[in-house]
Amino acid sequence: MPKYALPHRFNSRLVLLDELPSGASGCVYKAQYQRDTQPIDVVVKFFDHAPSHEMFGYFTNEQVVLRELNRTFDHPNLVQYVTHDLTQEPFYLMTRFVPDAKSLSKLKAGDVPPALLARIATQVADALDYLHEGKHGFKPVIHRDVKPDNLLLDTDYNAVLIDLSIARHPHFNITDEKVMGTPTYMPPEQYEGAEVPASDQFSLAAVIYELLTGQPLLPKQPLKAYQQIKELRDTDYAKVTQTLGSGYSHTSRVLIQALSYDPEHRFVTCTAFANTLRAALEKDGKPINQPITLRKPNPAFELKRWVMPAAAVLAVLLLAGALWTGSQLLRGSQAADKTPLRLQPTATLVGAIPEPDNRFDAGKLGGAPVLNPTTGLMETPIPAPTRLVAPDPFGGQASGNTTIIVAAVDTGRVNEPIRREPSYDAEIIGALPLGSQAIFLGGAVPQGNFVWYQIQYNGTVGWCRSLFCTLQ
């Protein structure tokens, strides 16, 4: 789909005004829509993704869910459905625009006073409970991606939960669906595709922890995040209590319960969690009933914030200039010497490696992508394939030089599919059972929040996912 010169009259009722940050499915615009006789500000999300049944399924899922949720009640803390068009391209979904909205991801530690923290917890919990148990035909709807990027604050400091594209409910299912969500905020059961309403509570608690401390509870890498969840459980959540300190002793205990490894041990509803959190903040002496005001930026700090990077860039430029001058002097010296220079043919030119998604680090998930040399010089020797061994899921003792771990999931699937290409649309040509041995062929392709690994198993060459296997 081409980018539009703005403003652009898309049709007789819709005018695109400004381009917003793109979503996973395609371009996003702020627009004005003529609804009956009243123009309203809207957000228009277009589907502009490479052909994929999976991605189109998530795109259509959001409009189906929002339309059903808004059919009987426009929840003030949920993004509101306006209309959609899936009959002809370009397909789009239209939702209400939140004026002057600020993403929670833009807030820093200290920006969120206790009164605002309590309000965010209360309002988002109420929205999540409406998804889980509200009077609509799709309950329970499990959001599966509660995180700061999907939470907006309007001009009156009210929270709005957005992006229900990967929401799970009884009327939506993708065969062999990959693990969905953002690892920094995902509960352990979500790695197994066994989400329950309390899974969203875990994510909300992780968001509250981050707003309090200014640092995420879990890392971005899926396997590291999963391992740290187990470490939190095994250490009685020492990280939470130590980071928050004695000034938040009651608050820590509430967060720890909401972050329980077993969803059965969390609060019965998200609202119960939020109410208990408010009471705990009061017990810790935090002023949760004061008028809400966000801290204004310090002009001196903002100046330093911009001047320091500029000074660093200037230093780099000066250093580069000095190195260039030195190289010219050296080149002149070499030109005076008639003896020809002999370069050792050991260089390797490697093709560009795609930048991984910001939710994971390909190198830490088992090695950056390995690409073939494209130079005419002598190639760097390529090591022999590494033997892979698959022990117990997410742990256990490994044998061999490199380990691949295949996770057994509660749904009964104990085989990781082997696909012909590194894509969910590719044909399944085999399966890698738990405890099996395979040969890692060196290929690694990032996709979303995981990496595809190229392997050979029982004579079959294909691709498996780092979500269910890892190299060690």
Q: Which residues contact 468 (CB under 8 A, 6 or more apart)?
A: 405, 406, 407, 416
Q: Strand, helix or coil at 173? A: coil
Q: Left (φ > 0), alpha (ψ -120 to 50) or beta: where does 230 sit?
A: alpha
Write out the two tokens for 145.
């991606």
Q: Which position has the higher pLDDT, 141 or 110?
A: 141
| 94 Cβ neighbours under 8 A, 6+ residues apart | 14, 31, 33, 42, 43, 44, 45, 81, 82, 83, 84
State the Cα angle at 134 between 132 and 135, rounded to 5°.
Answer: 140
Band of pLDDT at residue 241, cut at 50, 70 and 90: very high
Cβ neighbours around 466 below 10 Å, total: 25
The domains spanning 102-169+180-283 and 362-465 adopt the same CATH topology: no
138-186: per-residue pLDDT in tens?
A: 989 999 999 999 999 998 999 999 999 899 998 886 655 667 889 999 9
Task: Give the torsion sign (CA, 7, 9, 13, 16).
Answer: negative
114 Cβ contact list (under 8 Å, min separation 6)? 281, 286, 287, 288, 290
Domain boundaries, the chain: 8-96, 102-169+180-283, 362-465
Question: Rounded CA gap, 201 and 263, in Å?
Answer: 9
Residues 48-94 have pLDDT tens digits of 877 677 788 888 889 899 999 988 788 999 999 999 998 888 899 99
At residue 236, φ and ψ (nearest 5 deg) are: 55, 35
Q: Which fold has domain 102-169+180-283?
A: Transferase(Phosphotransferase); domain 1 (1.10.510)
The fold of 362-465 is SH3 type barrels. (2.30.30)
- pLDDT of 460 higher than 60: yes
Q: What is the dihedral of CA 322, 326, 329, 331, to 10 degrees?
A: -130
How far apart, in whole angstroms, are the C-alpha atoms of residue 275 and residue 388? 49
Indicate whether 270 pLDDT > 90. Answer: yes
Task: State both tokens at 63.
Answer: 């409009």
* Both tokens assigned to 241: 């209590």
In this predicted structure, the answer to whether residue 441 has a pLDDT above a threshold of 70 is yes
Cα 200 vs. chain centroid, distance in angstroms?
15
pLDDT at 177: 63
Strands 402-403 and 386-389: parallel
Q: Taking 70 as the threshold, does the pLDDT of residue 243 lie above it? A: yes
Spatial distance between the Cα atoms of 143 and 86, rounded to a whole number of angstroms = 23
Answer yes or no: is pLDDT of 372 > 60: no
Confidence of residue 35 (pLDDT cuts 50, 70, 90): confident
Calculate mean pLDDT across residues 355-359.
32
pLDDT-derived band at 318 (thresholds 50, 70, 90) equals: low
Q: Which residues make Cβ contacts (< 8 Å) with residue 221, sequence separation at least 6?
A: 183, 360, 361, 364, 365
Topology at the third CATH level for domain 8-96: Phosphorylase Kinase; domain 1 (3.30.200)
347 within 8 A of 327, measured Cβ to Cβ: no
pLDDT tens, residue by residue, 322-338? 544 544 444 444 443 33
